[in-house]
Amino acid sequence: MKHIQVALLLLMLSIVTQASTTEATTSMSPLIDTTLQYLSQPRETTASHLRMTPELFANVSGSLDDRGNCQCSVYLPDTTFPVQKAEQLQVIATTLVEKFERELSVVKEYSERIELYQQKILNLTIRVEHMEKTSVSYTELDFQLLKVEISDLDRLVTQLKSTVIGSNVIVDQIYLEIRNLTILVNELESLDKNNILAIRRQIVSLQNRLKECEESRNQTTAPPYFPPGSCIHGGLLNVSQPYVVKLNWRGSSFKYGSWGRDYSPSDPEQEVYWVAPLNAEGRYLQYFRIYKTFDDLLLFKPMYERTLAYGEGSGAALYNKFLYYHAYSSTNIVKYDITNNRIVLSKALPNVVTGNRFSYAGVSWQDIDFAVDENGLWVLYSTENNMGNIVISKLNETTLDVINTWQTRQYKPSVSNAFMLCGVLYATRTVNTRKEEIFYMYDTNTGQEGRVNIMMDKKLDTIQGIDYSPTDQKLYVYNDGYLLRYDITFRH
């Protein structure tokens, strides 16, 4: 009704507007009065044709705006029919119908499940009754199959009970029958007349004992033991799987560096470890930490942390409580006292090529690489005379003088890293992102070089440092910021 009244009001206002434009010479006041009279009191002919109720309208006063347009306000009566309540009732009815349909489908599903469960229980009951009546002794497999089926039913009915709101007599009855079946099957299994199940269990136990005996007989003998610091073995035979110790103490962004265990010939049992990550760019050595025990290393409890006036590369090594490293942007090698926190000696290494010209493959700024083994302190590098191939020099750890030098035919930039073991150089190369191969060796005792084939697993792509410790005969590997450790197996 309100919509009809608004439409009529708009129609009347349009008539007023047309009248004001066509009769511009006529005064506005008579026009307004005439129009409003027409709205409130229609003519007889008009009322007889339109049959409109004049009580819907009333005389109202109007006004002219700045442009000469007529303006008036008409207030429509409130609606008497509750349309909003009717719409709310319709929405509620629709929602109830949808809920009823959903609940009805759930009830149908439950009914189908209950019928299926009842059929399964009937089948199981028949099988159990048959087992009770016959004198045949059933195998453990028969009982296990029954138990599995009953267990499945138990699980399904438990799930069904959890979805049913309130108590359901049929579901409770099925649940009780499944419990009774479980008890009955257990009793049948315990009353096996011919003790076949017990005999079968004994046979299985004997078979397992026989298998263990065969496995122990076929096991290879344990590798021979060689005392730490000795070289009475026949050289490197194999390495174990890597043991991931931890991430370096500066974080995953510091992918370059070195770590290992100190070797002191006078006190070989001491536990001193160092971790020396380079800066994030992989060139500067500024900080390193010393740990008194391996447990302290795992728990981030350093004995002390030292700051250097810049070393270069990840070739540092700790030997007898002195850290040896390559001085930044020079040909000097440095001996650093970790106890007193001072540089003891710095000396140029003869003929060495620096400036990242002959570093290892995939590892920058490792032109000089220190190594420690049972024979003492070594340094690995390249020279112009040897055309970038690896040069091995034995150092006097007190004076840093070169005692002896060996020139290999292995190009250093084609090697991923290297270490010394009982006077033998072992070099590695990258096979793929998860494997390295120890492929080259040079024996300074005999002057002989050759090829080996020992695979090393790694956790990440690049190995930045390998250090061997004669104290525990392990390899310490710095692998993209992670500290790895390998056990070593020697030849007889």
Tokens for 265, please give them: 């010939």
79-123 tens-digit pLDDT: 555 667 777 777 887 887 788 788 778 777 777 777 777 777 777
Q: Please calculate the CA angle 34-36-42 and round it to the nearest 5 degrees.
A: 85
Q: Of all residues in the chain, what percent carry a pLDDT higher than 70?
A: 65
Using CA atoms, how far residue 261 sits from 73, 131, 323, 392, 416, in Å, is: 98, 70, 11, 22, 21
Give the largest Cα separation in the chain, rounded: 137
Q: How confident is the model at residue 316 (pLDDT cuts 50, 70, 90)?
A: very high
Q: Which residues, other chains included, contact 348 with Cβ-Cβ below 8 Å and sequence gap of 6+?
A: 330, 331, 332, 333
Cα separation, 478 vs 481, in Å, equals 6
Q: Which of 458-484 are b and which e, b meaning 16 or more Cβ less than 10 Å from the residue's Cβ? A: beeebbbbbbbbbbbbbbbbbbbbbbb
Q: For the chain, how far is it from start to end, CA to CA, in angstroms? A: 110
Please count the other Cβ atoms lying within 10 Å of the Cβ belonging to residue 145: 13
Q: Which carries the bigger pLDDT value, residue 191 or residue 295?
A: 295
Cα separation, 354 vs 366, in Å, equals 9
Q: Which carries the bigger pLDDT value, residue 483 or residue 182?
A: 483
pLDDT higher than threshold 50 for residue 258: yes
Mean pLDDT of 156-163: 65
Mean pLDDT of 257-286: 93
Supply the Cα-derived Rg of the chain in whole angstroms.
Answer: 48
Q: Which of 49-58, 116-125, 313-322 has the highest mean pLDDT?
A: 313-322
Residue 98, SS3 per DSSP: helix
pLDDT of amino acid 89: 74
pLDDT higher than threshold 90 for residue 328: yes
202-244 tens-digit pLDDT: 556 656 765 665 666 555 566 678 888 889 999 999 999 999 9
- What are the backbone angles phi and psi of residue 303, rounded to the nearest 5°? -70, -40
pLDDT higher than threshold 70 for residue 22: no
pLDDT higher than threshold 50 for residue 39: no
Tokens 């030292």 belong to which residue? 306
- 277 exposed, middle or buried (CB, 10 Å; 0-12, 13-18, 19+)? buried
Mean pLDDT of 379-399: 97
CB 257 within 8 A of CB 248: yes
Q: How confident is the model at residue 45 (pLDDT cuts 50, 70, 90)?
A: very low
Q: How many residues does the chain have?
A: 492
Number of H helices, E strands in the chain: 8, 23
- What are the backbone angles phi and psi of residue 112, rounded to the nearest 5°? -65, -40
185-208 tens-digit pLDDT: 666 656 554 555 555 565 566 567
Mean pLDDT of the chain: 79
